Amino acid sequence: MSTRTTQPRTLFLSGRAASVLVSPMRLEIVEAFKDNRPRSARELAQELDRPVSSLYFHIHRLLRAGVIVECGRRPGVKKPEVLYRPTARRIGLATDPSSPASVETAVGAVRAILRRCEREFKAAVRSGAASDPSGRPRTAGRRMKSRLTDADLASFLRRLETLERWLVRRDNRAAGRPVVWTSFVVPVEPPKIASKTRILKTD
């Protein structure tokens, strides 16, 4: 039996709740819900290849922060399993630029993602998975800086969402192998405010 409720598109976290995303383990749990399908702690442990006992603390932190919710129960091996699902399809950080703690929390979450990306890339290179048998790289990396209008930035973010949905649809556990995509899109300057020009009339 499960409870169905309207799910918001994005959940914005702030303050102490936002600090839950500083943990790489909790970021992995959030990522596991990419297809929005309910999962039990046992299923999460299988997907993340970790002991189920190591996940309970992180699951409870995510529950308290409102990132995931209990959505039902189903029969388990010894007792009913609790099912969890994400509160929203997307998680965002509501950052207050005037608050050093808020800024550090946002930076810490990004740092955790980049640390995980570094570990995964290093493991791929060492195992040979990052190259084909001839040594040609199977990886792709880009860093670009472009000047976009707010409308263009919104359009670009929608394109990324389309690509995310494509990756979720193509996820093939039977025949595919793990491929990781990490990206950040960051406006590095505040929006420009149009200045008013005074027109001086002369006779």
Q: Tens of pLDDT along 39-96?
A: 999 999 999 999 999 999 999 999 999 999 999 998 887 889 999 999 988 888 888 8
Helix (H, G, I), strand (E, B) or coil at 201: coil
Give the residue from 49, 50, 51, 40 showing the smallest Cα distance to 75: 40
- What is d(CA 54, CA 48) in angstroms, rounded to the nearest whole number? 11
* Contact residues for 65 (Cβ-Cβ < 8 A; gap 6+): 13, 16, 17, 18, 20
Residue pLDDT, tens place only, 143-182: 899 999 999 999 999 999 999 889 988 988 888 888 989 8
Cα 12–16–28 angle (5° rounding)?
65
- What is d(CA 148, CA 8) in angstroms, rounded to the nearest whole number? 28
Domain boundaries, the chain: 10-129
* Residue 39 bridge partners (DSSP): 84
pLDDT of residue 89: 84
- Give the Cβ contact number of residue 82 at 10 Å: 17
- With bands split at pLDDT 50, 70 and 90, how would you rate the model's confidence at 35? confident
- What is the CATH class of 10-129? mainly alpha
- What is d(CA 75, CA 54) in angstroms, rounded to the nearest whole number? 22
pTM here?
0.73
